[in-house]
């Protein structure tokens, strides 16, 4: 019996939070997953072990997505281990809410470096290397539609990601590669919870008409759909998965 070759998915920022849920979900969907992270290796290694234990295949790849050479090396590692890349999920991102007037040059550069340049770096690499028929999913945020104070710089980065998504979908004409973005509403992860009081978290949880915070799996299932066989005609779109917040 001939075995169908497994597709290879790189998930950036996959050691924790939404990215970890995406990596786990894609592994159970049958993808070989590359678990990218930039800091602590332990949670990425633990996730890889869990995936392998349940019959999946995973590789961890340390790379700061804001570093173009590190991103190129991550693609090299995926190609060496598995022979190519079919799916790129650009999930890595950071958020620190601050009024624009109080945002330092360093904080501005860090946000644009990881959220925008990081996405640019992986997209540019994917343009050269992603197999025809592949899928790309970028990460925006529903905060872009809410215009809440404190989110100017973060929303600026996500506006850029949405712009990349629309244009890049067209630049890949002829390759049968789709490029979409997911714009989650509040999801219970470190990025969202850190620095918020219980009262503020409860307020956010009341915002969607579904009256709860989203969970990482709520977003992993959307990504699973976008990279799966049923989403082949969805291209250049932003999917606002937010329980109806906006
Ligand atoms: P999270 O819990 O803070 O996890 C972030 C992940 O990204 C971690 O695995 C982190 O690992 C990795 N990461 C951070 N900087 C990186 C870098 N320079 N290079 C590579 N990896 C890096 O965040 P999350 O809530 O899951 O967010 C994931 C995405 O969803 C982000 O793009 C975020 O903007 C978006 N989003 C989140 C929410 C929400 O409410 N949570 C809502 C809308 C959109 P290391 O620390 O080891 O690098």
Instruction: Kindly list the domain boundaries of the chain, sorted by start residue.
Output: 8-239
CA atoms within 13 A on the CB side of 63: 29
How close is the Cα of 4 to the center of ligand 1, in Å?
A: 32
CB 18 within 8 A of CB 92: no
pLDDT, tens digit, 9 for 90 and up, residues 170-183: 999 999 999 999 99
Domain 8-239, what fold? Rossmann fold (3.40.50)
**How far, in whole angstroms, is CA 121 from its chain's centroid?**
13
What's the chain's average pLDDT?
97
For residue 154, indicate whether it is catalytic: yes
> What span, in angstroms and rounded, lies between the C-alpha atoms of 140 and 153?
13
- Binding pocket residue ranges, ligand 1, CB within 6 Å: 12-19, 36-40, 64-66, 91-95, 114, 118, 139, 141, 184, 186-187, 189-192
CB 87 within 8 A of CB 61: no
User: Which pLDDT score, from 0 to 100, does residue 246 have?
Assistant: 82
* pTM confidence score: 0.98
How close is the Cα of 5 to the center of ligand 1, in Å?
A: 30
Residue identifier of the C-alpha nearest atom 2 of ligand 1: 17
Averaged pLDDT for residues 77-81: 98
Burial (CB count <10 Å: 0-12, 13-18, 19+), residue 225? middle
Averaged pLDDT for residues 105-125: 99
């Amino acid at each position: 019996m001939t075995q169908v070759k497994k597709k290879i998915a790189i998930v950036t920022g996959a050691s924790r939070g939404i990215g970890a849920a995406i990596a786990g979900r894609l592994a159970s969907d049958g993808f070989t997953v590359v678990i990218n992270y930039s800091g602590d290796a332990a949670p990425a290694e633990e996730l890889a072990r869990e995936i392998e234990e349940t019959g999946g295949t995973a590789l961890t790849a340390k790379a700061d997505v804001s570093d173009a050479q590190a991103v190129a090396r991550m693609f090299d590692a995926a190609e060496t281990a598995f022979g190519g890349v079919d799916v790129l999920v650009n999930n890595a991102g950071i958020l620190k809410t601050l009024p624009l007037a109080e945002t330092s040059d360093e904080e501005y550069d860090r946000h644009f470096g990881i959220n925008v340049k990081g996405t640019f770096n992986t997209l540019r690499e994917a343009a050269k290397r992603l197999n025809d028929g592949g899928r790309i999913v970028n990460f925006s945020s529903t905060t872009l539609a809410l215009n809440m104070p404190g989110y100017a710089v973060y929303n600026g980065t996500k506006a850029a990601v949405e712009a990349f998504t629309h244009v890049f979908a067209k630049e890949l004409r002829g390759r049968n590669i789709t490029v979409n973005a997911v714009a989650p509403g509040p999801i219970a992860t470190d990025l969202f919870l850190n620095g918020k009081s219980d009262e503020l978290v409860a307020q956010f949880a009341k915002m969607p008409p579904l009256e709860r915070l989203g969970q990482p799996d709520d977003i992993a299932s959307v990504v699973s759909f976008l990279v799966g066989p049923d989403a082949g005609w969805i291209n250049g779109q932003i999917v606002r998965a937010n329980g109806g917040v906006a």
